[in-house]
Amino acid sequence: MKRQAFSIGRRLSWQLMIQAALILGCLCAGIYWATSVQFENAQNRLLANKVNRLSDFAQDYLRAGDNRFLDLLSQNAQNRSRMQLELNHADGRVFYQDLPGEALQLSQHRREKTFELAWPDRSHPPLKGRYLLDVTEDVQMMNAIAMILVLATVLGAITVGFSTFLIVRRGLRPLHALAEQTNNITTRSLNARLYMQEPVEELQPMVDQFNRLMERVERAYLQLEAFNADVAHELRTPLAALIGQTEVLLSRSRSMLEIDETLQSNLEELQRLSEMVNDMLFLSKADRGAHARRGKPVSLAAIAMQVGEFHEAAIEECGVQLAIEGDVTTSVDEALFKRALSNLLDNATRFASKGSTVRICFDKTADNYVIVTVENSGTTIVPENLSRLFDRFFRIDMARHGSRFNHGLGLAIVAAIARMHSGWTKAESDNGLTRISFAIAEPA
Ligand SMILES: Nc1ncnc2c1ncn2[C@@H]1O[C@H](COP(=O)(O)OP(=O)(O)OP(=O)(O)O)[C@@H](O)[C@H]1O
Ligand SMILES: [Mg+2]
């Protein structure tokens, strides 16, 4: 099941919003706590002040049997806004208490301070006092601050989330532009490449890689098109010949001998066509990643001898000698190896100058490759042809292009066989000496 695509913008917005809410929440909680400590300190200072002043007052006026102290306390009660005072004897009897109405009625939000008030003449045990401070206003203030802080946290987080979404959407614009460009690429416009009006550092590697991929796809596509054209071209001539010969044969009555000759010639043509189709099928199998089936280790020089014997007639006909130099024993796909060597030897004999020697050399590299080189002297191949030698249907001599015997697939097959053995190919031509090599990786 295809997983639903997620949005980078939405995901980032949520993540940053939660992060902002957490940070702002912690910050606001800190502010709230610091403010409430400030309030508490102010309340405590106020109560401590009151107690100090009452002590001073008691020093001056608190005498046994003297009511002046109590009178003064009652008078002052009017000024004690938001506060209540209570003074009791040590045995619990009430000594003084602000009457309700004299001071503000206290709500349930109150702060209390207890203290002892000594008689200046120490005639009685100290009075037990209690100040009650109504802190409703402070509580209301703290509630308002809490509301503001919560609101700031929520609004801050929403703003961060929303602005992130907008920023990400804006930031992803080049990506949308690239998607649109990619969307417009068709098989008719494989030469199109992605570009960014304003290069983006993070996207540039992806764009470069995509463009390189497009280059490879375009090349492969063009090769495929050329290959199709080449195949059609290669098939057209022999098919036309076959049709022509058959038509001539049918145009009037023929002797058995004439029919025999035409059929024989047609059969040869059909066999060549069949060989070409088989070669193409082999190449397509190799393209699809077929691997060589390696057998037991064998002497490659011995295989070369067998291939040489197979080509003996052609070698003699061309008036050249064959030399095999060096030997390596390794495991290869014998049938494929023979086919590759046979193709190289066929070319070398055909293109070697009369009386020269065609050499097959075996060598081993330090990185475990066996290199098979077939060398012949003849005409030097110019570099631009050298680089195309392994292309399908490529033949240097255009006059021989329509050759009925050679289709230009031999070296392409050598390259495919090398690839099937995890190897590579190389062609060199200098001073009339042409060396075509293929390497095969030795099994680990
Ligand atoms: N040893 C060589 N010396 C000079 N030219 C060569 C040599 N080997 C190959 N070539 C050139 O490379 C071309 C391609 O070779 P390749 O073996 O692929 O095809 P071919 O020999 O023409 O046909 P096929 O191998 O299918 O019968 C040849 O047509 C020839 O022009
Ligand atoms: Mg060939």
Residues bordering ligand 2, an ion, CB closer than 5 Å: 347, 410
Query: What pLDDT band is residue 103 in, cutting at 50, 70 and 90?
Result: very low
Residue 439, pLDDT > 80, answer yes
Residue 346, pLDDT > 50, answer yes
Give the pLDDT mean for 172-180. Answer: 92
Query: From atom 5 of ligand 1, which residue's Cα is the shortest distance away?
Result: 351
Give every CB contact of residue 381 below 8 A, 6+ residues apart in sequence: 389, 396, 427, 429, 434
**What's the CA gap between 440 and 23, in Å, rounded?**
64
> With a 6 A CB cut-off, is 349 part of the ligand 1 pocket?
no
Q: Which ligand is nearest to the CA of 396?
A: 1
197-200, Cβ contacts within 8 angstroms, sequence gap of 24 or more: 198/174, 200/174
Cα of 411 from ligand 2 centre, angstroms: 6
> With a 6 A CB cut-off, is 316 part of the ligand 1 pocket?
no
Residue 402, pLDDT > 50, answer no
Cα of 389 from ligand 1 centre, angstroms: 7
Cα of 348 from ligand 1 centre, angstroms: 8
pLDDT at 102: 47
> With a 6 A CB cut-off, is 377 part of the ligand 1 pocket?
no
The strand pair at 127-134 and 110-117 is best described as antiparallel
Beta strands per DSSP E along 328-423: 329-330, 357-364, 369-377
pLDDT tens for each residue of 12-71: 999 999 999 999 999 999 999 999 999 999 999 999 999 999 999 999 999 888 888 999
Cα of 270 from ligand 1 centre, angstroms: 22
pLDDT at 104: 56
Angle formed by the axes of helices 256-287 and 204-251, nearest 10°? 170
Total-model pTM: 0.65
Q: Which ligand is nearest to the CA of 398?
A: 1
DSSP letters along 283-318, please? HHHHHTT------S-EEHHHHHHHHHHHTHHHHHHH
> With a 6 A CB cut-off, is 322 part of the ligand 1 pocket?
no
Q: Which ligand is nearest to the CA of 320?
A: 1
